[in-house]
Amino acid sequence: MTVIKQQHDEFVRLTGPLRRELLTHCYRMLGSLQDAEDLVQETYLRAWRSYGEFEGRASLRTWLYRIATNACLNALRHGSRRVLPAGLGAPATDPTALAQRQPELPWLEPIPDERADPAAIVNGRAGLRLALIAALQHLPPQQRTVLILRDVLAWSAEEAAEVLGVSPAAVHSTLQRARARLDRLAPDADEIAEPTEQEQRELLDRYADAFERADIPALTRLLTEDAVWQMPPNPSWFSGRSQVVGLLTARLHRKQARLIPVRANGQPGFAMYAAGEAFSVQVLTLRGPAIAEVTAFHDADLVRRFGLPARIGH
């Protein structure tokens, strides 16, 4: 066995278990699963090319995070932040006159639970929830990075400083600014009172049944008073139970819907098929015994990224 082959096998053995963790990190930074996959691939290529020079002064994990973080920061300098409709303007009021779809906008994407770091799923309320990922996109790249390393990954100021090449004092001041801005953008995770596992199963079963039957009264009973419905790449979004019900009344009866359960961002969801064709991925936010928000990503390709077929029988 050649030295290069031995070195390659060692590299794969040591770095392979970190891939999902790095993918989740890049996803938090970029808000796009596809972009995160590309950056993780770039990270591993860069790491392999310089692996012979890695001397172990930092841990392998820290070294890979530094490469991945710098790759993400470089990508952010050349791209636009990912958005959801609620981050673009006021809610719509007429469900019969939706705005034109805008696929050219850099929309936020969900990440399937099976692709994410298992530790992030366990702590999904704090670290992977869709609302948090959307809020992070509003932070400047350096603030976003520091907040993820310190508050989400629970790294020390010294560890974060090592990755970013700055002083611990700079990390501390950046973190304070990031926390203050995030507090204005996203509710605290502890304020989200989720149902028990049994209550969640029952709620999701009732929702899927009512949605597939286009049972508007039943759906109405499942929504919170301040429910929100978003559907990128359409910039129109609706806020309040009556507005969401108006949207469902106007739109749902037109499609022969089938819902298949999925998990994304540590949250429950469904892949929706319309007349047997892949149509959207819905990510649900639950509060107490009701549904507080549905973000329906109208993207058939996204359904397939959850490992589901483009067509099903109906």
In the chain, the amino acid numbered 47 is A
Residue with tokens 């049994």: 198
Strand partners, 16: none
Residue 124, pLDDT > 80, answer no
Quick check: 186 and 132 in contact, CB under 8 A?
yes
Tokens (6 digits) for 49 = 């090319």
Q: Mean pLDDT, to the nearest integer, of 200-228? A: 96
Band the pLDDT of 126: cuts 50, 70, 90: low
Where residue 290 falls among pLDDT bands split at 50, 70, 90? very high
Model confidence at 125: pLDDT above 60: no
- Residue 304's pLDDT band (boundaries 50, 70, 90)? very high
Nearest alpha carbon to residue 274 among 292, 284, 260: 260
Report percent pLDDT > 70 for the chain.
94
Of residues 282, 280, 284, the one with CA closest to residue 303: 280
Residue type, 155: W
Report how far residue 92's alpha carbon sits from residue 234's, in angstroms, rounded to the nearest whole number. 11
pTM surpassing 0.85? yes
Give the containing element (helix H, strand E) for 74.
helix 60-77
Tell me: pLDDT of 302 over 90.
yes
As a whole number of angstroms, the distance between CA 229 and CA 223 comes to: 10
- Quick check: 131 pLDDT over 60? yes
pLDDT of res. 314: 62
Q: What pLDDT, on a 0 to 100 scale, did the predictor assign at position 153?
A: 87
Ramachandran category for residue 247: left, alpha or beta (phi over 0 → left; psi -120 to 50 → alpha): alpha
Distances (CA, A) of 86 to 1, 90, 92, 279: 57, 7, 10, 21
- Residue 5 CB-density burial (10 A; 0-12 exposed, 13-18 middle, 19+ buried): exposed
Average pLDDT, the chain: 91
Output the pLDDT for position 197: 84
For the chain, domains (ranges, CATH) are 1-79 (1.10.1740.10), 197-305 (3.10.450.50)
Among 108-112, 179-183, 295-299, whose mean pLDDT is lowest? 179-183
* Cα pseudo-dihedral 193, 197, 199, 201, rounded to 10: 120
Q: In the predicted model, what is the mean pLDDT of residues 23-30?
A: 96
DSSP H or E run through 126: helix 124-127
Average pLDDT for residues 91-112, to the nearest whole number?
94
Q: What is the dihedral of CA 215, 219, 221, 226, to 10 degrees?
A: -150
Q: Are 306 and 262 in contact (CB under 8 A)?
A: yes
More confident residue, 56 or 153: 153
Percent of the chain whose pLDDT exceeds 90: 74
